Amino acid sequence: MRPEKTPPGSSQLGTSPPVPHHPELDAPPPAASPAMIMSALAAPPIHPSAQAAAPPELTVVVPCYNERPNIAPLIAKLDAALTGIAWEVLFVDDDSPDGTAAEARRIAAHDPRVRCIRRIGRRGLASAVIEGALASSAQYLAVMDGDLQHDETRLPAMLAALRGGDCNLAVASRHVAGGDAAGLGPRWRHALSDGGIHVAQRLLPVRLSDPLSGFFMLPRELFERLAPSLTGQGFKILLDIVLSAPAGLRVTEIPSRFRERAAGKSKLDVLVLAQFAGLLLDKLLGGVVPLRFIAFAAVGALGVLVNLAVLTVALKLGQVPFASAETAATVLAMVFNFVLNNEITYRDQRLRHTPLWRGLVLFMLVCGLGAAAGIGIARALYSEHTAWSLAGATGAVIAVVWNYAVSATLVWRAR
């Protein structure tokens, strides 16, 4: 390390008694001479705690949502597993209602190796990992779940593989000899995971036995280079990295077992599958068509189907007059689109509680205009002897296109 200039009159390490933790609280500040100010500007003094602690070589980025009971045990496990390594852990919490961030900060108050980013109005594992990784200055980055399911004792082996320089991506794999996925849980989770792995492997430029692993390590500098091309959507951050990596990715797989979740519950559900499909589609299309637009189009198409289904039932079974049937079908398709867009398209900024209802009301109000136009056109077409299905579909499409524009700018506008 570069020797630091010391302001004249200040104590030298080794010749002075131990530095108190908060000297500014114990003694009045000494009067500063112009010379002292100049020399302080030239070389800012290092805070005593920074002198003691080596800068971390490894940042363990831990995305977490409602993991409060797992925070302290995870830090203890890292402490035990990483002896001899200068490490820090960076929790990225999406404002969990259970107070995960507060728990991390409670420990961070007396342990400088613990840091926390609290994100507000955002959700998403992949984007949390990206933000955490970009807040690190360490040479290596590890990504690890915050629920104790990943075996932290594998971290030194992963770091050793990277330090050796033989690889620039170390992946903890459940599907190589010595690995184990038993903790994944029910059979459907295994089937889902196996299916996903199969699809992913066909698209991957490198051989990976466990491309859905959420536990891996790489040099920060490599991550920084890839960061601008990551989609940041959904759960599959490793897949995102591998698909975005230019040639030259050298992967080592480290066998790892996947433990059962002790506390809290999994946030991975069936909708994650839709996001997974979206990520693959995005990569296949080379990122030309925005992922959100694809989701919008898919939801819109389903909305048209709902509209037509309701119209069919109302006309054929309920003998409802066309105008009322078309109105009911449009309103139902609108609610359907709102819910689906909130759950899938805008999953990362999902509206909940009061904002959800406000969003729905806003959506209905502004879209009422689009719906009125849609209904008007459908009626006009129907009275011109256009088939009821074509008239209905035209009206629905007009209303749905309007919904796109409105939701992007007004309902889910980024904070």
Chain residues binding ligand GDD by CB under 6 A are 63-65, 67, 92-94, 123-125, 128, 145-147, 149, 184, 193, 212, 214, 235, 266-268
Taking the complex as a whole, the smallest distance from the CB of residue 215 to Mn ion amounts, in Å, to 10
Binding partner of residue 103 among ligand GDD, Mn ion, none, CB cut-off 5 to 8 Å per kind: none
Binding partner of residue 132 among Mn ion, ligand GDD, none, CB cut-off 5 to 8 Å per kind: none
Taking the complex as a whole, the smallest distance from the CB of residue 260 to Mn ion amounts, in Å, to 9
Axis crossing angle, helix 291-312 with helix 270-284, rounded to the nearest 10:
120
Instruction: Give the whole-angstrom CA distance, residue 252 versus residue 173.
Output: 9
CA-closest candidate to residue 141, choices 122, 158, 154 = 158
Q: What are phi and psi of 18, to 5 degrees?
A: -55, 140
Total binding residues toward Mn ion, as defined by CB under 5 A = 3
Taking the complex as a whole, the smallest distance from the CB of residue 229 to ligand GDD amounts, in Å, to 20
Q: Bridge-partner residues for 60, per DSSP? A: 89, 142
Binding partner of residue 412 among ligand GDD, Mn ion, none, CB cut-off 5 to 8 Å per kind: none
Binding partner of residue 93 among Mn ion, ligand GDD, none, CB cut-off 5 to 8 Å per kind: ligand GDD
What single string gives the DSSP state of each residue in 255-272?
E-BBPPP-SS-----HHH
Taking the complex as a whole, the smallest distance from the CB of residue 163 to ligand GDD amounts, in Å, to 24
- Which residue, 119 or 259, has its beta carbon nearer to Mn ion? 259
- Which residue, 206 or 308, has its beta carbon nearer to ligand GDD? 206
Site residues for Mn ion, 97-156, by CB under 5 A, read 145, 147, 149
Axis crossing angle, helix 187-203 with helix 270-284, rounded to the nearest 10:
0
Q: Is 7 exposed, middle or buried (0-12, 13-18, 19+ CB in 10 A)?
A: middle
Taking the complex as a whole, the smallest distance from the CB of residue 264 to Mn ion amounts, in Å, to 8
Binding partner of residue 259 among ligand GDD, Mn ion, none, CB cut-off 5 to 8 Å per kind: none
- Which residue, 147 or 282, has its beta carbon nearer to Mn ion? 147
* Residue 128 near residue 63, CB atoms below 8 Å: yes
Half-sphere exposure of 260 toward its Cβ, with a 13 Å CA cutoff?
Answer: 3
Site membership for Mn ion, residue 213 (CB under 5 A): no
Q: Bridge-partner residues for 270, per DSSP? A: none
Taking the complex as a whole, the smallest distance from the CB of residue 258 to Mn ion amounts, in Å, to 8
- Which residue, 67 or 348, has its beta carbon nearer to Mn ion? 67
Binding partner of residue 235 among Mn ion, ligand GDD, none, CB cut-off 5 to 8 Å per kind: ligand GDD
Instruction: Give the whole-angstrom CA distance, residue 379 versus residue 226.
Output: 52
Taking the complex as a whole, the smallest distance from the CB of residue 301 to Mn ion amounts, in Å, to 33
Name the amino acid, one letter, at 225: R
- Which residue, 106 or 379, has its beta carbon nearer to ligand GDD? 106
Structure tokens at 226: 């890839």
* b/e 240-262 (16+ beta carbons within 10 angstroms → b): bbbbbbeeebebbbbbbbbbebe
Binding site for Mn ion (CB under 5 A): 145, 147, 149
